C-alpha cells in the first residue's frame, strides 16, 4: 500500500510539474508581465486611469517594433483619465478588410474592505488568478495586446487592428468605443470585430462544457419612474401616496413578461441547449421553438435565469428613492428600471409598455444616454468556420455554440455603423461567473493560458498567417 501511495504521489507531482512547465514558456512569462501590469493598474471610474493603462500598452507595442504612427493614444481634454489606444498592423493584401480586436480597459469599482485580497494586486492562489479585471476585461485586453506583439514579426495578409478603450462599465463615463465610431471611423474601419461576450464555461466536473460565440447582444437602457403627491403630515395618512403609486407601478413591471422572441442566433443556441438539457427542459425548449406563444413551455424554460434572459426583453428595478422626512407623507418617489432590450426592440416601444404598466399616476421617462438599437446579427459561416476549426485543436470534443449576450458591450456602437461584432470563444469561466462585477473576481490560470493560445491561433487564421 505504501508503495502504491508513493507511486500515486509521484504521479501527481509529475502532473503538477508538467502543468507548471506548460505555463512557463518564455512567451507566457512575457505575457504574464503584461497581464500583471494591466490588472494592477487601477482603472476604476472613481480613482483609476485608463489613460495610464493605455500608455503602458502603447509603450509595449512601440518596444515590440510598431512605428510611432501605427500606435495612437487618445484622451479627451474633459476626461483626461479615460483614454484609450489603437494600433494597426498592416496586411500584405489591401483587398482584405481588416479585423479589429476590441477590448475595454476600465473595470467595475472594487473596495479593499469588501475583498478577501487586494483587488489591484494580482494574486495566484489555488489555481486561480484573483484581482479586479482578471476576467472582465483585462484578460482579453492583455491577450489582444500580446497577440499584436507576437504578430509583429510575421506578415499577415489581412490588416489587424487593436482598440482598447475606456467607459464600457459605466453609464455616464466617456466611452472611447462610441467616440472612435463617431469621430474616427477611418481609424477603426474593419470587416468585422472580435470582442468580449463569448468565451465558454466549465461544467461541474471542472472540464470545459461548451464554447460560446456571441452573435448579437441586447441593448441596455434605463428608465425612471416618478410618482408625486402633495404630501402632508404622516399622522393623517390617506390611500393617495407617492410611495403607494410607485410600488404599484414596480409590482406591475415585476409581473409583466415581455413576449418570447427569437433571432437566427438564439434559435441555434436553444436548439443546442435542447440537446444538452434534461428531459423536461429539453422538451420545453423544443415546444417553445415550435411555438413562441406556448406559455407552459415558457414557464419551464424561464426557471433558468440565463435562458429566460435570452428569450425576451427584461426590465427590473435597480434603484429606489422616496420621501423627504420620516414624519411626512412622501411628495416624491422614484425608481430606476434597468431594461435589456431584445434585438429589434426600440427604446420608445419599451417606454410605451412601461407607461401602460405604470398607469396615469406615475411618469415614465427614458434616461440619457440612449444607446443604439440592438440589431439581429445572422451567423456568418466565413467567420464561424475558423472559430470551430481552431477549437477542434485546442478544445477537442467541446461544442462551439452560438449565443446572444443578455448583457451589453461596446460592440453595439460598431454594429450601429455596419461592422458586425463577434464575442469570441476560448476564455472559459466557472459556472458561478467567477466574481465578475462582484467580490474576489478570478480566472483559472489554465483558462487564461489556454484562452491566450486559442485566441492567438484564431487571429492568425483570420489574418492569413501560417
The pLDDT tens digits of the residues spanning 11-52 come to 334 333 333 445 688 999 999 999 999 999 999 999 999 999
The pLDDT tens digits of the residues spanning 272-320 come to 999 989 999 999 999 999 999 999 999 999 999 989 999 999 999 999 9
The pLDDT tens digits of the residues spanning 333-367 come to 999 999 999 999 999 999 999 999 999 999 999 99
Predicted pLDDT of residue 172: 83
Predicted pLDDT of residue 407: 82
Predicted pLDDT of residue 288: 98
Predicted pLDDT of residue 392: 97
Mean pLDDT of 146-162: 97
- In this structure, how many other beta carbons lie within 10 angstroms of the beta carbon of residue 151? 19
Predicted pLDDT of residue 23: 67
The dihedral through the CA atoms of 73, 153, 443, 395 has a sign that is positive
SS3 418: coil
- In this structure, how many other beta carbons lie within 10 angstroms of the beta carbon of residue 336? 15
pLDDT at residue 455 is higher than 70? yes
The phi and psi torsions of 209 (rounded to 5 degrees) equal: -95, -40
The radius of gyration of the chain's CA atoms, rounded to the nearest angstrom, is: 24
Answer yes or no: are the C-beta atoms of 217 and 377 closer than 8 Å: no
Predicted pLDDT of residue 47: 96
Please report where in the chains the cell 459561416 appears, as a residue: 381
Distance CA 40, CA 37 (A): 5
Predicted pLDDT of residue 9: 40
Distance CA 140, CA 137 (A): 6
Domain locations in the chain? Answer: 19-217+374-463, 226-366
Provide, rounded to the nearest whole percent, the portion of the chain with pLDDT above 90.
88
Please report where in the chains the cell 504521479 appears, as a residue: 11
Q: Which has the closest alpha carbon to 129: 15, 36, 50, 28? A: 36
Predicted pLDDT of residue 122: 98
Q: Which has the closest alpha carbon to 259: 185, 320, 349, 335? A: 349
Provide, rounded to the nearest whole percent, the portion of the chain with pLDDT above 70.
95
pLDDT at residue 2 is higher than 50? no
Buried b (16+ CB within 10 A) or exposed e, 109-136: ebeeeebeeebbebbeeeebbbbbbbbb
pLDDT at residue 5 is higher than 80? no
Four-CA torsion 445, 168, 390, 206, nearest 10 degrees: 40
Distance CA 97, CA 99 (A): 7
Sorted by sequence, the CB contacts under 8 Å of residue 118 that are 6+ apart come out as: 112, 131
The pLDDT tens digits of the residues spanning 392-429 come to 999 999 999 999 988 889 999 999 999 999 999 999 99
May I ask the CATH architecture of the domain 19-217+374-463? 3-Layer(aba) Sandwich (3.40)
SS3 222: strand
Predicted pLDDT of residue 17: 38
pLDDT at residue 8 is higher than 70? no
Answer yes or no: are the C-beta atoms of 159 and 55 closer than 8 Å: no
The pLDDT tens digits of the residues spanning 368-394 come to 999 898 888 888 999 999 999 999 999
**Maximum distance among all alpha carbons in the chain?**
84
**Topology of domain 226-366, CATH:** Alpha-Beta Plaits (3.30.70)
Helix axes 445-463, 138-151, angle to 10 degrees: 40
Indicate the average pLDDT of the chain. Answer: 93
pTM confidence score: 0.89
Predicted pLDDT of residue 91: 97
Amino acid at each position: 500500500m505504501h508503495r502504491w501511495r508513493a507511486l500515486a504521489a509521484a504521479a501527481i507531482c509529475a502532473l503538477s510539474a508538467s502543468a507548471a512547465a506548460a505555463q512557463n514558456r518564455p512567451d507566457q512569462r512575457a505575457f504574464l508581465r503584461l497581464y500583471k501590469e494591466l490588472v494592477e493598474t487601477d482603472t476604476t471610474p472613481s480613482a483609476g486611469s485608463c489613460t495610464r493603462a493605455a500608455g503602458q500598452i502603447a509603450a509595449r507595442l512601440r518596444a515590440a517594433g510598431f512605428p510611432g504612427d501605427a500606435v495612437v493614444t487618445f484622451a479627451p481634454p474633459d476626461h483626461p483619465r479615460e483614454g484609450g489606444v489603437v494600433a494597426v498592423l498592416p496586411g500584405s493584401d489591401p483587398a482584405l478588410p481588416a479585423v479589429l480586436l476590441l477590448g475595454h480597459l476600465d473595470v467595475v469599482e472594487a473596495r479593499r474592505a469588501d475583498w478577501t485580497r487586494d483587488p489591484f494586486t494580482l494574486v495566484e492562489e489555488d489555481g486561480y488568478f484573483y484581482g479586479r479585471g482578471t476576467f472582465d476585461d483585462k484578460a482579453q485586453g492583455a491577450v489582444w495586446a500580446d497577440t499584436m506583439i507576437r504578430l509583429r514579426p510575421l506578415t499577415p495578409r489581412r490588416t489587424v487592428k487593436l482598440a482598447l478603450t475606456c467607459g464600457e462599465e459605466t453609464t455616464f463615463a466617456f466611452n472611447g468605443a462610441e467616440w472612435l465610431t463617431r469621430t474616427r471611423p477611418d481609424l477603426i474601419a474593419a470587416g468585422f470585430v472580435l470582442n468580449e461576450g463569448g468565451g465558454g464555461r466549465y461544467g461541474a466536473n471542472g472540464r470545459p462544457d461548451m464554447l460560446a460565440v456571441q452573435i448579437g447582444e441586447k441593448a441596455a437602457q434605463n428608465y425612471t419612474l416618478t410618482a408625486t403627491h402633495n404630501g402632508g403630515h404622516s399622522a393623517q395618512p390617506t390611500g393617495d401616496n407617492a410611495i403607494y403609486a410607485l410600488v404599484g407601478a414596480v409590482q406591475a413591471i415585476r409581473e409583466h413578461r415581455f413576449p418570447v422572441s427569437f433571432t437566427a442566433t438564439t434559435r441555434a443556441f436553444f436548439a443546442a441547449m435542447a440537446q444538452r438539457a434534461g428531459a423536461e427542459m429539453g422538451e420545453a425548449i423544443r415546444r417553445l421553438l415550435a411555438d413562441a406563444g406556448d406559455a407552459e413551455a415558457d414557464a419551464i424554460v424561464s426557471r433558468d435565469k440565463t435562458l429566460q434572459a435570452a428569450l425576451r426583453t427584461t426590465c427590473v428595478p435597480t434603484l429606489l428613492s422616496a420621501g423627504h422626512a420620516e414624519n411626512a407623507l412622501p411628495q416624491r418617489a422614484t425608481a430606476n428600471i434597468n431594461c435589456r432590450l431584445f434585438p429589434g426592440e426600440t427604446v420608445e416601444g419599451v417606454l410605451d409598455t412601461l407607461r401602460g404598466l405604470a398607469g396615469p399616476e406615475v411618469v415614465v421617462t427614458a434616461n440619457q444616454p440612449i444607446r443604439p438599437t440592438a440589431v439581429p446579427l445572422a451567423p456568418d459561416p466565413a467567420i464561424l468556420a475558423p472559430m470551430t476549426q481552431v477549437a477542434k485543436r485546442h478544445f477537442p470534443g467541446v461544442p462551439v455554440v452560438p449565443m446572444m449576450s443578455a448583457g451589453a458591450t461596446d460592440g453595439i456602437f460598431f454594429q450601429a455603423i455596419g461592422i458586425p461584432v463577434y464575442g469570441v470563444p476560448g476564455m472559459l469561466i466557472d459556472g458561478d461567473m467567477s466574481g465578475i462585477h462582484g467580490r474576489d473576481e478570478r480566472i483559472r490560470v489554465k483558462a487564461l493560458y489556454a484562452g491566450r493560445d486559442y485566441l492567438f491561433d484564431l487571429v492568425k487564421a483570420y489574418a492569413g498567417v501560417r
